[in-house]
Amino acid sequence: MNLALLLPAGLAALAALLLPLLLHLARRHEQTPTDFAALRWLRQKPKPRHRIRFDEWPLLLLRLLLLALLALWLAKPVLSGADDTRPWIVAVPGVDDAAVRAQAGEAESQRRWLAPGFPSLDETTPTGSVAIGSLLRQLDAELPAGTSLTVVAPATLQGADAERPLLSRPVTWTVVEGAMPTSSARSTPPPSLAVRHETGNDMGLRYLRAAAHAWSPAADASASLQIGTRDEALPAITRPLVWLVPGPVPAPVVQWIESGGTALLANDAMLDSFTADATPWRDADGAAMVESAPRGKGRVLRFMRPLRPDAMPALVEADFPRQLRALFDAPIVAPTRVLASDYAPVTGGATYPVAPRDLQPWLALLIALLVLVERWMATRRARSVAP
């Protein structure tokens, strides 16, 4: 174990040790001598040599100790090398705790759940999904270098990230029977689009109908596509709008977008102050098909070409329904379910030094207790009076 000071300049406060010494000396000399008549004949005798003497030396020593501890507290002491190197055995939620205890045997070890805070195995099994890779990396960084780590995992994991954990130490990866509960998240349903077009102009509608049919081939396409003219009422904010009307976008539509709606405009629709900041769809050659920008609380998308096969060949390609749906779908979440045998950590990661233990809180507690003792000794009734 090594004691270090993060702020050695704080030891300059040790100069305050002179204060109680001076106070005790001054207190002794506050006494006023009184001459007695019978002592006048003794004046001719030589006076004894004056010696420095401290009264109530236990109280003096206590006050000196208090000041020394206070100076040490200001120097911010830390203690390193006192780390607990007992083996760690962590269990991924989904395994039987009896299997973890069998791994530990009779040896003394830390048995924890692989969950935020690393609770003891004696506590109830954590619920919900946990970020397995992230927690393993955190535990590897916090444990001392010489501490062995054993992980007991069920056969199927839920909550894995995109790569196997890279740790600084070898890990005993034990797979037992069991599985983590699956996530309650379900696949995203296809978008339900509301299309508004110019009366007498149905250009591009056939391709939108084909895409809606591809999304739900066993159902009526009208469930995913509601078509009407520009004069019909706007849909709810939660339903995307496809505006295929050329010319300036009407004020009600702009207000609908700014209130939180998502609108896909035709290439010849004009919207004031529209400046694209993203291109969510490009063809195989990299040419922009759709541009987008935020508007108020909503979002605006706009085709870059007319909805005709000669101007936009992507309309007749097999990938068109998927590309159109991706414009309105939420970002795809990467799968997090994996076999535990395929997720065993690998070594080679960086080694992080263990943070030293801060002694300031313990010193503060000791100083507070000594202050109470000092006050009791200084104010007690039986306290002696210096001569």
pLDDT in tens, 232-272: 999 999 999 999 999 999 999 999 999 999 999 999 999 99
Say if strands 193-197 and 288-295 run parallel, antiparallel, or are unpaired: unpaired
Residue 386 has what pLDDT? 45
* 74 shares a domain with 92: no
Q: What are phi and psi of 279, to 5 degrees?
A: -130, 90
Q: What are phi and psi of 171, to 5 degrees?
A: -120, 130
Q: Answer yes or no: is 231 within a domain.
A: yes
Closest CA to 196 of 122, 250, 129: 250
Note the pLDDT tens digit of each residue in 91-150.
998 887 677 767 655 557 888 999 998 998 888 888 777 889 899 999 998 888 888 899
User: What angle in degrees, to the nearest 10, is found between the helix axes of 57-74 and 360-379?
Assistant: 160
Residue 223 has what pLDDT? 66
Q: DSSP label at 341?
A: G
For 120, 143, 162, 250, 364, the CA distances from 83, given in Å and listed in that order, are: 18, 9, 33, 69, 22
Q: Answer yes or no: is 331 within a domain.
A: no
Q: Answer yes or no: is 230 within a domain.
A: yes
Q: How many domains does the chain have?
A: 3
Q: Measured between alpha carbons, how far apart are the two ends of the chain, in Å?
A: 48
* 279 shares a domain with 177: no
Residue 387 has what pLDDT? 38
Residue 44 has what pLDDT? 56
Let me know: does 97 contact 122? Beta carbons within 8 Å.
no
Q: Which residues of the chain have pLDDT under 50?
A: 30, 185, 385-387
Q: Answer yes or no: is 333 within a domain.
A: no
Q: Answer yes or no: is 44 within a domain.
A: no
* 203 shares a domain with 168: no
Let me know: does 385 contact 91? Beta carbons within 8 Å.
no
CA distance 312 to 244: 15
- What is the largest distance, in Å, between two alpha-carbon atoms of the chain? 138
Give residue 157's domain range.
88-185+338-347
* 151 shares a domain with 64: no
Q: Answer yes or no: is 113 within a domain.
A: yes
Q: Answer yes or no: is 38 within a domain.
A: no
Q: Answer yes or no: is 226 within a domain.
A: yes
